[in-house]
Structure 1
Amino acid sequence: MKNKVLKIHPKDNVLVALQDLKKGDTISFEGNHYILQEDIPAKHKFFMQDMHFGDEIYMYGLLVGKAQFDIPQGSIMNTDNTKHAAEPYHFRPSNYHWEKPDVSKFEGRTFQGYLRSDGRAGTANYWLFIPTVFCENRNLDVIKEALYNELGYSVTGKYKNFTHQLLTAYEKGEELSVASLERLNSTTDQSDRIFKNVDGIKFLNHQGGCGGIRQDAAILSKLLAAYADHPNVAGVTILSLGCQNLQLNDLVNDIKFRNPAFDKPLFVFEQQQSKSEELLIKEAILQTFVGLTEINKFSRQPVPLSKLTLGVKCGGSDGFSGISANPAVGYTADLLVALGGKVLLAEFPELCGAEQNLIDRTIDPNAANKFIDLMTAYSHAAEAVGSGFYMNPSPGNIRDGLITDAIKSNGAAKKGGTSPVVDVLDYTEEATKPGLNLVCTPGNDVEATTGKAAAGATLILFTTGLGTPTGNPICPVIKVATNNVLAAKMADIIDINTGPIIDGDKSIQTMGEDILEYCIKAASGEVTPKAVLLNQDDFIPWKRGVSL
């Protein structure tokens, strides 16, 4: 650890503790000396000067809060003495100039992807089951259980073995504890898979399709159509009941509207038109099995990095997120943009306080105004029910140093890098322009990753400081830890560790290059992210209500 504290921007009036600091310690930084008034845990901030009621607090060079009473120099920032504040934002002419990163290491590089007939490239080759309504979830569960074990996609083998060992120990009167039983290290063994070129069979169980307002069914249809059309999906089976709000024809029409050239195998089954549930399930399994034999004929081939679409996301964030993992992922994003690829930055509630910078970087004034309209409408909707973006930080975020939404948001926005914004997309709209795209989603981890995949993300980089197992059914999710402690403690869900940035052992730029190298391997099927190994297939449609 080369430094005990960090000042992120010259304008800041707080310092970030890079390690636990004790009350009474004298911290020397840039020729000044600060006597700590209390313990400052790592990731938290302390004030560089005496603060008075109403004084503005700056971090990342931006307004992130206001003092609620007089605060002595060397005091910790907390939810009692600091409340959220952010600068207003508006459209203004801007001549944003971007300094592209050096991409000489990656020029001419390719990944081994699945090239689709429309020119897009997938990083995986999945078969997808879609229910038009929650009434079909049980049928999907039955089909999943039937297919997963027989075709080699189950990851529950070690837990079944563990349960069997428990039963055996119980019958013998032996001690019942994890330590006393044999631990099996098996996960999905891809060598057991019947279809070697089919990366998975995925199921989009959800709670929608009927019972809500018709607009909910309409937006769900567009979301499901986006998943069916996704380049990581090679074939689709749809199960419908028949009487629900989201009619089968509506979904099929939305698929064709999204992609008039849609030519994937598409099998549809309506239960109220079937002679029996058993026949429905057997027919669905039969036709899907035949479809699997066809998509198993696809193989990976070299495609340019420009065909990658990278979603960037954070969840379970901590006080290091904005200074290690997020900036490193942001540098990866800049590299990919410079190489002609697409990057998706979402989570609009977590852009509060970063709006002006993003507006000034937006190339098209119409897109900039679209962003303003979406952010304003979202904020007003939250305020109308007695909430607001300022309530976004979770208890875990706050405990680990993210005191206001503006602190969390300005750190979160670092994931998008520094390139110009080429487009602004509403929920379920597809990214078609190379470069950085803003996508309207909630901050909620699963709702956001669900929306990124709908916008076309073929890989998602997911930074976390506290740890989260979140994944996605069709878009591989790569977990990036902000610190060494998390990377060691939750190694079973973490793929990349950016803790060396905090220690001063690696630069943000070097780590960003390392992350892109991992992305190329993951996109090529050379490495499998932990969330994929665990079948962490989280899928939650956003009903466009207030979700932070």
Structure 2
Amino acid sequence: MANKTLQIHPNDNLLVALTDLQAGDVVQHNGSDIIIRKDVPAKHKLALKDLKAEDKVYMYGSLVGTVTEEIPAGGVLTTENTRHEVSSYSLETSGSEWQAPDVSRWKDKEFMGYHRPDGQVGTANYWLVVPLVFCENRNVNTIKNAFMKELGYATSDVYEKYVADLVQLYKDGKTDVIKNMTEPPAKSELSDPDPLFPNVDGIKFLTHEGGCGGIRQDSEALCALLAGYIYHPNVAGATVLSLGCQNAQIEILEEKIADLTSDLQKPLYIYEQQQSGTEYEMLTSAIRDTFLGLVEANKNERKPAPLSKLTIGMECGGSDGFSGISANPAVGHAGDLITALGGSVILSEFPELCGVEQELIDRTTSKEMAEKFVDLMQRYSDAAEASGSGFDMNPSPGNIKDGLITDAMKSAGAAKKGGTSPVKAVLDYTEQVREPGLNLLCTPGNDVESTTAMAGSGANIILFTTGLGTPTGNPVAPVGKVSSNSQLAERMPDIIDIDTGPVIKGEKTIEEMGEEILDYIIELASGRIKTKAQLLNQDDFIPWKRGVSL
């Protein structure tokens, strides 16, 4: 690696350590020598010049904090000597014009997708089984247990085989052998599933803890979220279980579906336990009808579709000090390519847009959208402060340990996932993507709540950047994990799909990496490859509960 440090923007007064630096090391910047005062771990930030107490610190060209005590040039910034601070913003926009990237290489490219009667195109073909209320979770799991093995969707579990071996050794009186067993059986010893319905990628069973007991708005939001999943292009049909007396009523779900489409052209089977008689009668009906629905779903086959039919969600989690200079801008460039090809991109996690509001306001295509963005951000921030918290408390211990010491610093890097394209729409939680181009979606920074929301708003693929590693997946939208550094990709190959570490090492540019990611998206959308999360059956689903429990 030629460079040991990086100044991201010409206006920055911080340098990013690209490798571990030792006290006494000398690094050069623009012809000047900077002496490292204390050990600086890779990914952390050091002062480019002497900083006094109350001096502002800038990164990515944005204000990301204020120094609370003197830091000499070459000194490391920490939570002890730097506090969160962001610039103010206004609704006045700069109106700068977007220079779209060259997409001639992909203009005639297609992906192989599942075409729906309403014009949507899915990157997968799933059947959903969902409860309207947590009381039905056990019944959902009962259907799951009945279906998965018999239909060939249950993958052979290496850990079940491991436990079976332990049981047999115990029965044979070989407890001493057990103490030395550290490795489960090799996956090659297990048989692959053989699905009965090869054109159905799986049955997804969503369980949750909502639907009753909270404020009515949370139940309505849950129904809107479930409606989005039922309407989703990757979903062929759905089975819904209701108890009957809960807040999340069947009528509300039907209203939310009607808000999305006047003609839902896919099977939807709804069962209410309090009207069905016995549990046995309800479940046998649900299983029979679902099976017949799967027969119909299996008739759909992948066919060519333009890349404009893709909606890509952008997520980050377990971020590190490299995320904002490798993985995030790389997926951002891939998103710009998708946008230039007529597709849609979703940028969410509003707490992680704190400090970059003005940049996003400047990119909105209408004052109405700018006002909606500011309103959603302010109401969210006010609610956080009313609960005794705030956006400034967003960085996790893992973020801080790996160099993201203020929320503004984290946000400035996180926003790079949105690329540079104009903001075409601003959406509140559960609103659907209707506009091609970049859409801002109001969600929490919580990984699973955010990915759950993006899929509910129409993302048919999600790119998830990480610097520390996370297994997060989604039931209906394939989640491709993008590593910010090669060490993570090598250490956790079972969860990482793409390594952007070559950007840090100077081996590839952001643009080259983004182009590789677009090629990966096309293969994933066509079903020719699967994400690691799909292979692990990592189906995370957590609705956002905005209100209190009553």
Which residue number corresponds to residue 301 of structure 2?
A: 299
Deviation readout 1:209-255 (Å, 9 max, x if unpaired): 11111111111111111111011101110101111111112212221
Task: Name structure 2 gaps, 5 residues minimum.
Answer: none
Contact 2:22 / 2:40 at 8 angstroms: preserved in 1? yes
Provide the C-alpha distance between the structure 2 equivalents of 1:358 and 1:187, rounded to a whole number of angstroms.
Answer: 50
User: Of 242, 256, 266, which residue of structure 1 is paired with 2:258?
Assistant: 256
Conserved in 2, the CA contact under 8 Å of 1:154 and 1:188? Answer: no
For the residues of structure 1 that align with 2:155 and 2:406, how far apart are their CA atoms? Answer: 39
Give 1:320's aligned residue: 322
Which residue number in structure 1 is paired with residue 503 of structure 2?
Answer: 501
Task: Identify if the C-alpha distance between structure 1 residues 442 and 521 changes in structure 2 by more than 3 Å, giving closer, same or farther.
Answer: same
Q: Distance in 2 between matches of 1:228 and 1:217?
A: 16
Looking at structure 2, the residues matched to 94 and 83 of structure 1 have their Cα atoms a distance apart, in angstroms, of: 29
What is the aligned partner in structure 2 of residue 107 from structure 1? 107
C-alpha distance in 1 between matches for 2:155 and 2:489: 22
Q: Per-residue deviation at 1:128?
A: 0.5
Report the TM-score when normalising by structure 2: 0.97
C-alpha distance after superposition, 1:260-296 (max 9, x if no partner): 1211111111111123112221211111011101100
Work out whether residues 162 and 183 of structure 1, in 8 Å CA contact, stay in contact via their aligned partners in 2: no
Going from structure 1 to structure 2, the CA distance change for 1:41 and 1:17 (only over 3 Å counts) comes to same
Q: Is the 8 A contact 1:157 1:186 kept in 2?
A: no
Aligned-residue offset at 1:187: 7.8
Per the alignment, residue 212 of structure 1 pairs with 214
Question: Which residue in the other structure is 2:10 paired with?
Answer: 10
Q: CA offset at residue 157 of structure 1?
A: 2.2
With 376-385 and 55-64 compared, the bigger mean Cα shift is at 376-385
Q: Secondary structure at the match of 2:24?
A: coil
In 2: Cα distance, 1:175 partner to 1:365 partner: 67
SS of residue matched to 1:58: strand
Question: Is the aligned partner of 1:414 residue 2:419?
Answer: no
Question: Counterpart amino acid of 2:165?
Answer: Q
Equivalents in 2 of 1:148, 1:187: separation in Å?
A: 17
**Does the 8 Å contact 1:155/1:534 carry over to 2?**
no
Quick one: distance in 1 between partners of 2:160 and 2:86?
51
Change (3 A) 1:349 1:180: closer
Q: CA deviation at 1:412?
A: 0.3
1:130 deviation in Å? 1.4
Cα distance in 2 for residues equivalent to 1:209 and 1:186: 42
> CA separation in 1, counterparts of 2:191 and 2:4?
43
Is contact 1:188-1:533 (8 Å) kept?
Answer: no
- The alpha-carbon deviation at position 176 of structure 1 amounts to 3.5
Quick check: 1:183 aligned with 2:176? Answer: no
Residue of structure 2 equivalent to 1:22: 22
Maintained 8 Å contact 2:118/2:265: no
Q: Is the 8 A contact 1:126 1:232 kept in 2?
A: yes
**Structure 2 vs 1, CA of residues 178 and 519 (structure 1 numbering), >3 Å: closer, same or farther?**
farther
Q: Could you tell me whether the CA contact under 8 Å between 2:131 and 2:206 is conserved in 1?
A: yes
Query: In structure 2, what is the Cα distance between the partners aligned to 1:472 and 1:122?
Result: 15
Equivalent residue, structure 2, for 1:438: 440
In 1, the alpha carbon distance for the partners of 2:188 and 2:317 equals: 27
Q: What per-residue deviation string (whole Å, max 9, x for no partner) do you get for residues 463-482 of structure 1? A: 00000011111111000001
Residue 315 (structure 1) shift: 0.3
Residues 1:392 and 1:229: Cα distance change in structure 2 (over 3 Å): same
What amino acid maps onto 1:175 in structure 2? I
Of 326, 331, 355, 1:329 maps to: 331
Residue 470 of structure 2: aligned partner: 468
Three-state SS of the structure 2 residue aligned to 1:432 is coil
| Secondary structure at the counterpart of residue 187 of structure 2 | coil
- Residue 52 of structure 1 aligns with an amino acid whose one-letter code is K
Structure 2 CA distance, aligned partners of 1:186 and 1:354? Answer: 51
Q: How far apart are 1:166 and its partner, in Å?
A: 1.5
Q: Which residue of 2 aligns with 1:137?
A: 137
Please report how far the alpha carbon of residue 320 of structure 1 lies from its aligned counterpart in structure 2 after TM superposition.
Answer: 0.3
Equivalent residue number for residue 378 of structure 1:
380
The residue type equivalent to 2:216 in the other structure is: R
Asked if 1 retains the 8 angstrom alpha-carbon contact of 2:315 and 2:347, the reply is: yes
- Give the match for residue 340 of structure 2: 338
Aligned residues of 2:455 and 2:477 also touching (Cα < 8 A): yes
Instruction: Tell whether 2:74 aligns with 1:74.
Output: yes
Q: Could you tell me the TM-score, scaled by structure 1's length?
A: 0.98
Equivalent AA in structure 1 for residue 453 of structure 2? G
TM-aligned CA distance change 1:457 to 1:73, over 3 Å: same
Question: Which residue does the alignment assign to 2:54?
Answer: 54
Question: How far is 1:93 from its partner?
Answer: 3.5
Q: Tell me the residue number matched to 1:168.
A: 168
Q: Which moved more, 1:313-322 or 1:170-179?
A: 170-179
Q: In structure 1, how many angstroms separate the alpha carbons of the residues matched to 2:255 and 2:121? A: 23
Matches within 5 A, 1:494-533: 494-533=496-535
1:169 partner amino acid: L
- Give the gaps of 5 or more residues in structure 1: none
User: Using the alignment, how far apart are the partners of 2:188 and 2:11 within structure 1?
Assistant: 51
Equivalent residues in 2 for 1:148-297, closer than 5 Å: 148-155=148-155, 157-172=157-172, 173=174, 174-179=177-182, 182-185=185-188, 189=192, 192-297=194-299
Identity of aligned residues (%): 58
Residue 219 of structure 1 aligns to a residue whose secondary structure is helix
Q: Distance in 2 between matches of 1:181 and 1:457?
A: 36
Cα distance, 1:533 vs. partner? 1.2
> After the TM superposition, which of the residue ranges 308-317 and 100-109 deviates more from structure 2?
100-109
* CA drift at 1:154: 1.9
